[in-house]
Amino acid sequence: MFKINEVLQYEGKLLRVLSLDDEQVVWIDVQGSKALPVVVFFRDLQRAMDDEALVRAKDPYEALAFAAPEKGSIAQVKRDKNYELVRAIVSAPLFYDPKVRGTKINDLVTSRGVSKSNLYKLLRRYWQRGQTPNALLPHYKNSGGKGKKRKTNGKKLGRPRTVSPGIGALIDEETERLFRIAIDKHFLTDKGNDLPYVYRRFVTLFKNYFPDAEDSELPTKWQLQHFYNREYSLTKKIKKRTRRIKYDKDVRQLSSTATAHALGPGSRYEIDATIADIYVLSDSERRDIVGRPVIYFVKDVFSRMIAGFYVGLENASYVAAIQALTMAMTDKVQLCSEYGVDIREEDWPTVGLPNAILADRGELLGHQIESLESSFSVRVENTPPYRGDAKGIVERSFRTVQADFKKYAPGAVEETTIKKRGGRDYRLDAKFTIREFKEIILRSILMHNRFDVLEKYDREIDMPDDLEMTPLSIWNWGIQHRTGRLRVASEEAIRISLLPRAKASISDLGISVFGVYYTCAEIVESGLLHRSQKTRRPVGLEAAYDPASADIIYLFPSKGTSEYWTCNLTPRSREFAGASFWDVWRRKKKQKRKNAESRQRQTEEKRQFEEYLNEKIIEVDSLAPKTHHRSDAERVRGIRSNRENEKKRERQQRSQKDKPREPATNAKTIPFKGNVVEDYEYPDLIDELFDSEDS
């Protein structure tokens, strides 16, 4: 029924069973300071258990069984020494008999020179704490009172001064209150103040309260530091002295992994950009250094597969991001062949739409990406500001991929622009063009996807042990055993859905986007361009455009649908043929600035003309006769005759100015032998200009 070392509870006391036989039980009060083994009969314990007065309890010293000291430590030496003292007593069959126990204790006192009180203390600790050698371990962890406030007893704590003048300050409650004010206000902030600065602020505060205090009796910096270490926990110190953004990103403890939230391949893509650590040359002119290109990566969280990328001179923006996303969702075989790399579809199988895309707020936030969400049900997730750790999977890829070339490539960024004396600016060492650098990144990505071993990948519970931990292998395993597979869509539909959109309007001149006019067969057939008051044109239309080309836009005639019309430039906007929309915006801005300057001059000239006109009106009004000898009716009837007389006078003046001229003769044209003289007059384009649809 009972077991040795089992703890029982009886009448509010905890009792440990030390030994058993058929009729009696030996136990000891676990918490008694003077307790010794006591013999009780088994039948009495059984009766108490039937009355529910005796119950089993939890051993308060259970942890001592695992409290093994370090080998060779002082604690181990003292434990073994204490056990050797009491071994003869605790191993005796009748250790509970006071006579037998007393005889052995007297022998030890005589032979070993130890006191009885020390022996009884060790025996009591051995029996009460589980009858194991570890029960005799010294309690060094309770020594010193670490983290506890010392009692002053009216005197300064710590070692006495030997060099500094004075005795030192006694730290009372008021001083501790001022310590806490100075620390909370000046040290537990993200401003990076050091402890000496905080101490100086404390001295200023202390002297405001105690102006008569001598400098030699002021609390010291070490007393302030001791109070800080004692009263403030490590968690509070770190959190208060670290900026919130840095704490959330780099310091706080991690609670999970990114893979734990990815259901399978294509479940979540992460996209991010960085500036490459290398200077490159122009593709068209190798002598021109164009700076450091921008790299975009789109990475699958589950498999760590890089699904798409972008390398170019576009700044990190939506325009560059859509190029990386388009590549991530479409086939890469043709792209690789353009750079001399032959692959199969199964070598880079990331083709299709993911379930979610995690990006920075500035790139995929707003109405620009709404078409991808509404048309293909792709969830777009945005990270909080300044939280690069939220996309740790793709962030790590930049360092991994660039490490493949940074040590060897000419033009790679170094710690300083100018090397040691006599050195050379590394920017002048650039040798790779943008296209050549893109080929390097492409081959590095292929190597990563197919052969990089992910030794720190957190495996799923059902992943086989013989699974090769490369991104491609994990992707293929996930396709067979997980959800979140990519959804298929046409490449053209994906590309157009990712293009940025702008408002479009329809007028007599065509479809206007950014002040550039377009037309298409569908808009002509609809009759929306007819110059008639009965024509009712739709408003609030949207058009998708490729910033790299202003020749074509994609008009969405109906809201909420994926139908689009491909529109081309009209002759009215032929000046923008072959240009990009960046050129359109730049030229339109320049034209508007010039028109504004012209309007300003026009306003000034018109103002001067109006002043002249007002002065002229005053002048002619003063020259007009005050009275007329004819009536108003006679003056009106004389308008026709007055007009004829004035016309004759105008002709006479013109005939006197014109002098007779000699008649002009045409030059004689001498044709080449056998050729016919051609007519070099301007062509008549009347029929072409006013051609109608019915002709």
Per the CB < 8 A criterion, the answer to whether 602 and 609 are in contact is no
Within a domain: 532? yes
Same domain? 185 vs 240: yes
pLDDT at position 653 over 80: yes
Predicted local confidence at residue 695, as pLDDT: 42
Q: Give the chain's mean pLDDT.
A: 81
Q: Is residue 686 part of a domain?
A: no
Q: Which residues contact 443 (CB under 8 A, 6 or more apart)?
A: 341
**Statement: residue 679 has pLDDT above 80:** no
Final residue before a domain boundary, out of 13, 32, 60:
60
Question: Quick one: pLDDT at residue 255?
Answer: 52
Look at residue 673 in the predicted model and tell me its pLDDT: 57
User: Same structural domain for residues 313 and 392?
Assistant: yes
Q: Which residues 6+ apart lie within 8 Å of 398 measured at CB?
A: 272, 274, 295, 297
Are 41 and 70 found together in one domain?
no
Which of 234, 238, 205, 233 has its CA nearest to residue 219? 205
488-539 confidence digits (pLDDT tens): 777 777 788 778 888 999 988 999 999 999 999 988 888 888 887 777 888 8
**Residue 627: pLDDT band by 50, 70, 90 thresholds?**
low
Reported confidence tier of residue 387, pLDDT bands at 50, 70, 90: very low
Instruction: Report which of residues 330 and 676 the model is more confident about.
Output: 330
Last residue of a domain, one of 186, 220, 247: 247
The answer as to whether 612 is a domain residue is: no
Neighbours of 154 (CB within 10 A): 6
- Which residue type, as a one-letter code, is found at position 506? I
Does 508 share its domain with 433? Answer: no
* Same domain? 26 vs 127: no
Domains: count for the chain: 5
Vertex 83: Cα angle to 79 and 89 (nearest 5): 160
Q: How many angstroms separate the CA atoms of 507 and 530, rounded?
A: 9
Alpha carbon 366 to its chain's center:
17
Which pair of structure tokens corresponds to residue 246? 């840095």
Residue 5 pLDDT > 60: yes
Strand-pair partners of 269: 300, 357
Range of the domain at 532: 499-586
Beta bridge partners of 549: 546
Rounded to two decimals, the pTM is 0.59
- Any alpha helices (H) in 232-293, and if so which ranges? 234-240, 244-246
State residue 182 phi and psi, 5-degree precision: -65, -40
Q: 212 with 90, same domain?
A: no
Tens of pLDDT along 271-309? 888 888 889 998 888 888 989 899 898 988 888 889 999
* 302 plus 429 within the same structural domain: yes
Reported as a single tens digit per residue, the pLDDT across 299-313 is: 888 888 899 999 888
Assigned domain for 591 exists: no
Assigned domain for 309 exists: yes
* H helix or E strand, kind and range, residue 552: strand 549-556
Instruction: Give yes or no: residues 470 and 362 share one domain.
Output: yes
- Decide if 606 is inside a domain: no
Q: How far apart are CA 171 and CA 156, in angstroms?
A: 7
Q: Is the pLDDT confidence value at 370 over 60? A: yes
Task: State the Cα–Cα distance between residues 659 and 655, nearest whole angstrom.
Answer: 8
Eight-class DSSP state of 569: E
The reply to whether 429 and 288 lie within a common domain is: yes
**pLDDT, position 566:** 92
| Residue 418 domain-assigned (yes or no) | yes
Task: Tell me the HSE value of 138 on the side-chain side, using a 13 A CA sphere.
Answer: 13
Least confident stretch, 116-130, 218-232, 341-355, 623-637: 623-637
φ, ψ of residue 306 to 5 degrees: the values are -80, 110
Cβ-based neighbour number of residue 430 at 10 Å = 22
Quote the CA–CA distance of 635 and 633 in Å, as a whole number.
5
Does residue 695 lie in a domain region?
A: no
- Which of 560, 586, 612 corresponds to the end of one domain? 586
Kindly state whether residues 51 and 73 are assigned to the same domain. Answer: no
Looking at per-residue pLDDT, the higher value among 306 and 405 belongs to 306
- The band of 422, judged by pLDDT with boundaries at 50, 70 and 90, is low
Query: By the 8 A CB rule, do 302 and 463 touch?
Result: no
Share of the chain above pLDDT 70, in %: 81
pLDDT on residue 389: 45
In terms of domains, do 472 and 353 share one? yes
Least confident of 92-106, 377-391, 455-469, 491-505: 377-391
Looking at the structure, tell me whether residues 305 and 226 fall in a common domain. Answer: no
Among 57-66, 416-425, 586-595, whose mean pLDDT is lowest? 416-425
